[in-house]
Amino acid sequence: MNILITGGAGFIGSHVVRQFVTKYPNYNIFNLDALTYAGNLENLKDLEQAQNYVFIKGDITDEKFINKLFKGHRFSSVIHLAAESHVDRSIKDPLAFAKTNVLGTMVLLNAFKNLWQDNWQGKRFYHVSTDEVYGSLGKTGLFTETTAYDPNSPYSASKASSDHFVRAYGETYGMPYVISNCSNNYGPNHFPEKLIPLFINNIINNKPLPVYGNGLFTRDWLYVKDHAVAIDLAFHKGKNHETYNIGGFNEWTNISLVKLLCKLMDDKLQRPTGTSEGLITYVKDRPGHDLRYAIDATKIRKDLGWEPSLKFEEGLEITIDWYLKNTEWLKNVTSGAYQQYYKKQYN
């Protein structure tokens, strides 16, 4: 079985690739990634010699290349993660998000349809999406699989659009698909533009911790390897034409999360208690900032028996340890273009 995973050199993708390559030696896993600023082959160093793993550098928006690739390898399934993924970048450059997330997804869907539309038996297009498509919750309530889409940022609008196209290919061409919408992930290999790895890196370097607005925005955090396991389960056991919400049952306001992170980092770095908290700096809010995300993951728990394996404090500690150990990785990804991004975003 030839399976294409897109975006496998990124944060979540690298954990999904590892999950599949190591657990299913009889599958041939092809990892297609354009290696943008967020893609990093260092994330997959341990798999380089694996017999059932191939890396392909390429762009999902390149229609000719994608069609040729699909004809050549006849992928029976696609697990699609490649995307532009950072909300702040989408505010500065929305068209890049439409191109990769909408057009790129359509190019893949079309190539898959052209290959299999006469015989969908045993085929599956698995689309990895986000809870941000549902918009923002007030103080109460949870996102379920039937919550209406209501995206607020260019990022979430582009992901919502891609979800709609996947569904449309299912309805129009009978393409077997599964979509999962997951909450905020954290863990090793997370690019330090997102809250947790950015703040870990800044604490290490004694730099200010830029908390947007009043810091009372709430996210539901899930350890990345638990997301990879959920994708594995839903890919193998999920029902065609279904959506599964994946979440951590783990809501934190940004400011309480940051304070916990500061405390753990002071312990790890053997700095006096309160040192890292002293770096907290409230800055201008993000435009269109969603107040609260929280997932009701009852369906995947009940139907597929999935549950998060780690408590947040445990996962956070493993994550901090990983960043403190992998200083070369952190140094490499924060040199060059990262410095320009940082200046533009935070000055």
User: Which residues in this chain contact ligand NAD in the complex, by CB under 6 A?
Assistant: 6-7, 9-13, 33-36, 38-39, 59-61, 81-83, 85, 100, 104, 128, 130, 159, 182, 184-185, 191
| Bridge-based pairing state of the strands 77-80 and 124-130 | parallel
Please state, as a whole number, how many other Cβ atoms lie within 10 Å of the Cβ of residue 279: 18
Under rule CB under 6 A, residue 219 binds ligand TYD: yes
* Alpha-carbon span 81 to 258, nearest angstrom: 28
Burial of 104 (0-12, 13-18, 19+ CB in 10 A): buried
Please state, as a whole number, how many other Cβ atoms lie within 10 Å of the Cβ of residue 29: 26
Per CB under 6 A, the list member of 90, 162, 180, 184 interacting with ligand TYD is 184
Provide φ and ψ at 139, rounded to 5°. Answer: -70, -25
* Alpha-carbon span 20 to 310, nearest angstrom: 20
Q: Spell out, one character per residue from 280 to 319, where the chain touches ligand TYD: x when CB under 6 A holds, - when not.
A: ------x---------------------------------
Closest CB to ligand NAD among residues 97, 279: 97
* Alpha-carbon span 56 to 33, nearest angstrom: 7
Closest CB to ligand TYD among residues 30, 293: 293
Residues 188-217 that bind ligand TYD (CB under 6 A): 194-195, 198, 210-212, 217
Under rule CB under 6 A, residue 265 binds ligand TYD: no
Asked whether the beta carbons of 279 and 204 are under 8 A apart, the reply is no
296 is catalytic: no
Asked whether the beta carbons of 226 and 216 are under 8 A apart, the reply is no
| Residue 254 binds: one of ligand NAD, ligand TYD, none (C-beta under 5 to 8 A by kind) | ligand TYD
| Residue 211 binds: one of ligand TYD, ligand NAD, none (C-beta under 5 to 8 A by kind) | ligand TYD
Q: Minimal distance in Å, beta carbon 70 to ligand TYD?
A: 31
Question: Is residue 128 helix, strand or coil?
Answer: strand
By beta-carbon distance, which residue lies closest to ligand NAD? 10
> Distance between terminal CA atoms of the chain?
49
- Residue among 15, 7, 33 at smallest CA distance from 186: 15
Q: Minimal distance in Å, beta carbon 157 to ligand NAD?
A: 12
| Catalytic residue (choose from 131, 145, 193, 290) | 131
Provide φ and ψ at 150, rounded to 5°. Answer: -160, 55
131 is catalytic: yes
313 is catalytic: no
Under rule CB under 6 A, residue 37 binds ligand TYD: no
| Catalytic residue (choose from 155, 177, 223, 323) | 155
204, HSE (Cβ side, Cα atoms, 13 Å): 18
* Alpha-carbon span 291 to 271, nearest angstrom: 33
Asked whether the beta carbons of 195 and 232 are under 8 A apart, the reply is no
| Residue 18 binds: one of ligand TYD, ligand NAD, none (C-beta under 5 to 8 A by kind) | none
| Residue 219 binds: one of ligand TYD, ligand NAD, none (C-beta under 5 to 8 A by kind) | ligand TYD
- Chain-centroid distance of CA 147 in Å reads 20
Closest CB to ligand TYD among residues 94, 210: 210
| Residue 217 binds: one of ligand NAD, ligand TYD, none (C-beta under 5 to 8 A by kind) | ligand TYD
Q: State the residues that interact with ligand TYD by CB under 6 A.
A: 87, 184, 194-195, 198, 210-212, 217, 219, 254, 286
Catalytic residues: 131-132, 155
